[in-house]
Amino acid sequence: MKSIKTIAATAVLAAAMSTTAMAADFKPAVIFDMGGKFDKSFNEAAYNGAEAFKAETGIEYREFEVTNASQREQALRNFARRGLSPIVAMGFAQAPAMQKVAKEFPDTQFVIIDSVVDLPNVRSVEFKEHEGSYLVGMMAMLASKTGKVGFVGGMDIPLISKFSCGYKQGAMATNKDGEVIANMTGTTPSAWNDPVKGGELAKSQFARGADIIFAAAGGTGLGVLQAAVDEGKMFIGVDSNQNHLAPGKVLTSMVKRVDVAVANALMDAKEGKFTTGYQTLGLAENGVGYAMDENNASLVSEEMKAAVEAARTDIISGKIKVHNYASDMSCPL
């Protein structure tokens, strides 16, 4: 007859083997879009989320960095054929490919960030960028010495106009006599990775009197940041916390918790809790916000923080209604 210790040891070993087998069977993947996973912004936030999941679970994930449009569908299909699931695709531009491939692989779990694919095996996650952008627009105008602030977007699409419109609303609510100078970098995906053009647009805005620029432009934003440093002006980062990129020159960053969305999707799938359908994350869900740390603490006064926090509370309660450009493709300014 086996002893109680032997039975217990056997049970522990079986559990360990089962866990190892489950980890081996669980094969997630992340497809980064144009700009690369180290863009210091949107894609890198997804990378950080996937890395956080790997650090917590010890489970590796496959990855692919899209460098041209044709690769999106190829990457999705190749991963699905190899049995990887869930497959997380970064960016609105991956929606058409996912719409097609997810139908072909109904038993595979898919996640798309920043767009909606209405299929039974897809989780679609979007953010209320306009809410977070309103807050940094307020902060920009409160910090501005000229009453003029700037915005540089990446590709000219409704998603980036959500950032721009929210930013304008926050800035103009703070100073009705102020001015927001806005430019988009381009109309093709290369607009996400053109720091030279970003720098040129920033210098033009500085020449027109802007002293703070918010960039929602992926890797292009790094050119805006460099121009701000060169000109002795201020920069506002996006998606990831970019305050550390130039301490003392980055007023704040409009953070979009892409990292949390990715990590949660992977963990939900691992634990058998994966749900499909639509999720939208705003201030109330801590899906967007603004970054404060040691790198920008001296740039943001207590009065500025109090004003922005009051607005945050009012947006969550509904007292302040921030217009969502994507709802009707217009900005009331």
Phi, psi at 186, each rounded to 5°: -175, -175
Q: Is the pLDDT of residue 194 over 60?
A: yes
Give the tens place of pLDDT for each residue, 113-157: 999 999 999 999 999 999 999 999 999 999 999 999 999 999 999
Q: Which helix (H) or strand (E) holds 102?
A: helix 95-104
- Predicted confidence (pLDDT) at residue 319 exceeds the cutoff of 60: yes
Compute φ and ψ for 220, nearest 5 degrees: -60, -30
**pLDDT number for residue 21:** 38
Indicate the pTM of the whole model: 0.86
How far apart (Å, rounded) are the C-alpha atoms in residues 231 and 203? 8
Question: For position 40, what pLDDT does the model report?
Answer: 86
Per-residue pLDDT reduced to its tens digit, 238-283: 999 999 999 999 999 999 999 999 999 999 999 999 999 999 999 9
> Which residue type occupies 43?
N
Yes or no: say if 30 and 241 are a contact pair by the CB < 8 Å rule.
no
Residue % of the chain over a pLDDT of 90: 86
Residue of higher predicted confidence among 214 and 240: 214
Confidence of residue 9 (pLDDT cuts 50, 70, 90): very low
As a whole number of angstroms, the distance between CA 74 and CA 162 comes to: 30
Strand 288-290 to 250-256 pairing: antiparallel
Report which of 259, 257, 256 is spatially closest to residue 267, judged by C-alpha positions: 259
Peptide bond into 96 cis (omega under 30): no
